[in-house]
Amino acid sequence: HAMGSKVGEVLLYYCYCEVKDPEKLCAWQKALCQHLHLTGKIRVASEGINGTVGGSKVATSLYIDVMLSQPLFKDILCQEDFKSSAGGAHCFPDLRVGVFKEIVPMGIDPKIVSYKETGIHLSPQEFHREVEQYLSQASQGQSDTILLDCRNFYESKIGQFQGCLAPDIRKFSYFPSYIDENLELFKDKRVLMYCTGGIRCERGSAYLRSKAVCREVYQLKGGIHKYLEEFPDGFYRGKLFVFDDRYAICSNEDIISACRYCGALWDQYKLCSSQHCRQLVLTCPSCCSKGLTACCPVCQEKELKVTSRASGQTLKEECECTRRRPRVPIERVSQRRLDTGK
């Protein structure tokens, strides 16, 4: 159909608000997206809505209009809250709308740590100034600030703010334990937090504040997405990881990561070639052509054997990558050197 054929865009947004009937909101969302031929993922909960959808420009702008006029979000959500990037319906395999306990999976009951207790929101301009100040102080070895990446290791691996602390965690639900295990690190510090679109900081900052050890907690409003709109060549270097079939979007030409096999600069993810593995792997074209397409030797081996097994179900995620990584890394405070350079 004509609607899906034009070059479109992908929208990312969230809205924390009281949702009395999540099931009803969910059904409405599903119908709306189907009507507009939008694909993507939408999480609905009693604490709000979190979505990323793709379609034609006509469809996405209609979607925004409808969302802004929905009484539930009327005084909370605004045009600014929608982050957009080039893409379309083809960026997602299908449309998934569901009801969950949390709109971002931190694994902590929203009644216990609420989005209402967030840190101080900084605009991209304010955040930029803060990072600038932090980097100049840190280079003189006298910073009382921590620039904290709230995303997963495979996101920060291909793009991050200079001089940041990027936890080596596999999913956001490990973030609270990461804070708990490393509380000493945050004692009396000013913390500048950031994530992709701002939503993980809403709950992450609330969790950190609930520990009452930091001097202040700040967060980047609108996330890296909004920062890059203002400062495509600012202090965020590399690509921005996105949770759809594109894997990453680009604002500057920097490549900060390397091919897993040969070490050449490379930042384009592929899914591990081993059948049941969900790990992403950085393997450059020349290594790919040599058949190096798995995330680790264990998976590379497994791929050769998998054809002889009937069900293969038992193979799920047993690889070096998942075995070797501690669930929650303990930072050694003394060894935190600041990589403030490029």
Supply the residues annotated as catalytic. 195
CB 222 within 8 A of CB 198: yes
